[in-house]
């Protein structure tokens, strides 16, 4: 059974960079037909897609976050990472990593999710 586990600091100071890693078990981040993505959810609010990346390098980002986001896939460690720069209190959220199925011309749905990790932005 595929498992994803987020890890990283639970508290980040304003203006600094949020860094999270998602470790994948029982599957390879080099699998064909899958992207690896990040989604966040502010407390009491809805889901917001951050971005998705294929191990071969193809990447898609939420336009509203694109200038501050970088996602990378490290095949040797079978994990992928998120960096979000210049954070503010508005970036406080539960951050989920997930596997995303890809179609012929589209990205599709997230079929496996991590448990999520709360990141608070505060001084």
Partner 1 sequence: SYELTQPPSVSVSPGQTASITCSGDKLGDKYVYWYQQKAGQSPVVVIYQDRKRPSGIPERFSGSNSGNTATLTISGTQAMDEAEYYCQAWDSSTVVFGGGTKLTVL
Cβ proximity to partner 1: between 52 and 81 the closer is 52
Find the binder of partner 1 among 49, 55, 80, 95 (CB under 8 A): 49
10 alpha-carbon distance from chain centroid? 15
* Residue 88 makes contact with partner 1 by CB under 8 A: no
List C-alpha distances in Å: 10 to 18, 95, 99, 116.
9, 10, 22, 11
Contact with partner 1 (CB under 8 A): which of 46, 57, 67, 122?
Answer: 46
Find the part of the chain contacting partner 1 (CB under 8 A) among 25-33, 57-65, 75-83, 84-92. Answer: 57-65
Retrieve residue 25's tokens: 């078990």
């Amino acid at each position: 059974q595929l498992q994803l586990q987020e890890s990283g600091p639970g508290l980040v100071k304003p203006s600094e960079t949020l860094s999270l890693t998602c470790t994948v078990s029982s599957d390879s981040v080099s699998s064909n037909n899958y992207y690896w993505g990040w989604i966040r959810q502010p407390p009491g609010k809805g889901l917001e897609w951050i971005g998705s990346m294929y191990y071969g390098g193809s990447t898609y980002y939420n336009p509203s976050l694109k200038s501050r986001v970088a996602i990378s896939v490290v095949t040797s460690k079978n994990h992928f990472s998120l960096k979000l720069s210049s954070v503010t209190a508005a970036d406080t959220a539960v951050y989920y990593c997930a596997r995303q199925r890809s179609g012929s011309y589209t990205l599709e749905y997230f079929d496996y999710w991590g448990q999520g990790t709360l990141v608070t932005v505060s001084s």
